[in-house]
Amino acid sequence: MHISTERALKDCVVLDSGVVKQVENAFAELEHGNATVPPILMVPVPEQHGEVDVKTAYIPGLDFFAIKVASGFFNNQELGLPSASGLVLLMSTKTGFPVAVLLDNGYLTQVRTGAAGAVAARYLAPRTTATVGIVGSGTQARFQLRALSLVRNLEQVLVYSPIDEAGVPAYIEEMKSELGVSVARVDDPQELLQRSSVVVSTTPSREPIIRAEWLHPGLHITAMGSDTEEKQELEAQCFARADVCVSDLKTQGFRLGELRAAKAAGVLNENSAVVQLGELVLGKHPGRSSEKQITVCDLTGVGVQDTAIALEAYRRVLERGTITEIAE
């Protein structure tokens, strides 16, 4: 049994084009109908405002598949602890034996979630994406910006952070220094939308932040915050105004994502023209077909991403030799 620590994983795995490629392939496998993605196993722990989710996906032909355990306990902040934690198990597809425990404390989820943002932007962002708007200033606000910088040439970043205003200065400093772009704060979400050609929302908001009337031709929005039934970042009418609506996995989006709220509002239903991300990867749908279109992508996080990132991470830590073997 192999054990890898967060430190060892962070030393090998960053959001780079290799990771994005693996996640993109995983969406292709999902779209081919090859992957088995059981519904998420959810364990609510209401006493701590917490929840533990287990996601998995089996993709035939790969040596392993991942079982990912991800916790979000929002009372942890009072204890001075991060709310997110978790680990990833790698299971042999040949024998069913567990082969590795990746003690990533949620790090690989951050990377693979960023990677899905890069895949979405590759097919949906206008070719010329000079100005990007980021909603939020947390970890995904960072990863989503890194993701965009892999697939578009960015000049200007605007950040609006309704939930964590205090985090904005550090966000600006870090992103400026890391990506060499101009990063500025805006205090009005409407201004953020108007000035940007790509907006990525990364918050756990339970009230829509982005209003449909603010959408303009040539805008792409990726909303990656909603992954439970209570969350919503986009006003439902955003989907009515969009020329192309995309979901990482429609069945899941209609349960847990922005699609759920849009359905509840009567704007979308399961028969609406919602494209899956894998259809873009496979070329079954062209994605953005003109610079003037409005496009919206709802990301909820799919088990195939976890299997993709876990395999890539395991390959890298094995190659680097930074893994611990536990005798059984």
Residues contributing to the site for a copy of itself (CB under 8 A):
1, 3, 5-7, 36, 38-39, 41-45, 47-48, 50-52, 54, 56, 58, 60, 65, 67, 69, 71-73, 76, 79, 81, 83, 85-87, 89, 91, 93-98, 101, 103, 105, 324, 326-328
Nearer to a copy of itself by Cβ, of 38 and 286: the residue is: 38
Nearer to a copy of itself by Cβ, of 166 and 327: the residue is: 327
CB of 76 to a copy of itself, least distance (A): 6
CB of 78 to a copy of itself, least distance (A): 11
Sign of CA dihedral 177, 178, 182, 184: negative
CB of 191 to a copy of itself, least distance (A): 37
Angle of the 303-320 helix axis to the 107-124 helix axis, nearest 10 = 120
CB of 1 to a copy of itself, least distance (A): 6
User: How far apart are alpha carbons 153 and 130 in whole angstroms?
Assistant: 7
Nearer to a copy of itself by Cβ, of 94 and 127: the residue is: 94
- Nearest-5° Cα angle at 133, 130 to 138: 130
Give the list of residues 6+ apart from residue 166 with CB closer than 8 angstroms, or none. none
State residue 112 phi and psi, 5-degree precision: -70, -25
CB of 32 to a copy of itself, least distance (A): 16
Q: Which of 245, 276, 288, 243 is nearest to 263 (CA)?
A: 245
Nearer to a copy of itself by Cβ, of 49 and 195: the residue is: 49
Q: Are 41 and 54 in contact (CB under 8 A)?
A: yes
Nearer to a copy of itself by Cβ, of 249 and 297: the residue is: 249
User: How far apart are alpha carbons 244 and 218 in whole angstroms?
Assistant: 12
